[in-house]
A = this chain, B = another copy of it.
């Protein structure tokens, strides 16, 4: 056993070599920071530090922060885009959108991005393609489908953003409490809120989501486009 551990340092293979900079490496690092610390910490500088380089180096693989976020999203959507579906068109549609929602639900900060910038990744396209195919099987006209897919995906995303489970849930609970308190206090000013009150926050997430999806599909089927 060497008495001089420092003398080993010149050996360049002593510890895993600094990983080569690649698009995949960058997205992996970003995902791991996202999982551990939230989107807020997924910054160019933070990723660069994780990869033992400077922020400027990332700009070879990522155009800017928006592009980085878009790439993260499409990575997350991979399992949804490739899942297998069974049952009637309506069952398949519900299954797909529920799975899609679950990804966004688990990553509400990424879901927010979906709202802001129109996703254009391969996996998002694949999901949209499947939704359109299923609506077509359900005899929804092309014209209606074109508007319906927008409504469906936007509503699912909105629901995920609103009720997403993440570190902000504490804040959300505070807000809910505040809301509950306000509606109690101003029962005269807001009688309907006071009446519906407890129902507003009622129900398990999955039940609420299933109902919303049902209402959306019923609505689409009941509202053929006339223009």
A-to-B contact residues, CB < 8 Å: 112, 115-118, 120, 125-126, 128-129, 132-133, 136, 142-143, 145-151, 154-155, 157-159, 161-162, 171-172, 175-176, 178-179, 182-183, 186, 189-193, 195-196, 199-200, 202-203, 207-208, 211-212, 214-220, 222-223, 225, 227
Known: A118-B175, A120-B175, A146-B199. A192 touches B133 (CB 8 A): yes
**Is B155 a contact partner of A190 (Cβ separation < 8 A)?**
no
Copies, count: 2
Binding site of A, secondary structure by majority: helix, strand, loop or mixed?
A: helix
Residues of B within 8 A of A112 (CB): 112, 115-116
How many angstroms between the C-alpha atoms of A207 and B193 in the bound complex? Answer: 31
Residues of B within 8 A of A215 (CB): 148, 151, 216, 219-220, 222-223
**Is B115 a contact partner of A146 (Cβ separation < 8 A)?**
no
24 contacts between A and B (CB under 8 A): A112-B112, A115-B158, A115-B161, A116-B161, A117-B171, A125-B193, A126-B190, A129-B192, A132-B195, A143-B202, A145-B199, A146-B196, A151-B155, A151-B212, A157-B158, A211-B227, A214-B219, A214-B223, A215-B216, A215-B219, A215-B220, A215-B223, A218-B219, A222-B222
How many angstroms between the C-alpha atoms of A225 and B136 in the bound complex? Answer: 27
Residues of B within 8 A of A179 (CB): 118, 120
Known: A129-B190, A150-B208, A211-B147. A120 touches B178 (CB 8 A): yes
**Is B162 a contact partner of A196 (Cβ separation < 8 A)?**
no
User: Which of B117, B148, B190 lies in contact with A175, CB distance below 8 A?
Assistant: B117
Nearest-neighbor residue (CB-CB) of A193 within chain B? B129
**Is B193 a contact partner of A128 (Cβ separation < 8 A)?**
yes
Nearest-neighbor residue (CB-CB) of A66 within chain B? B171
* Most B Cβ at <10 Å: residue of A158, A191, A193: A158
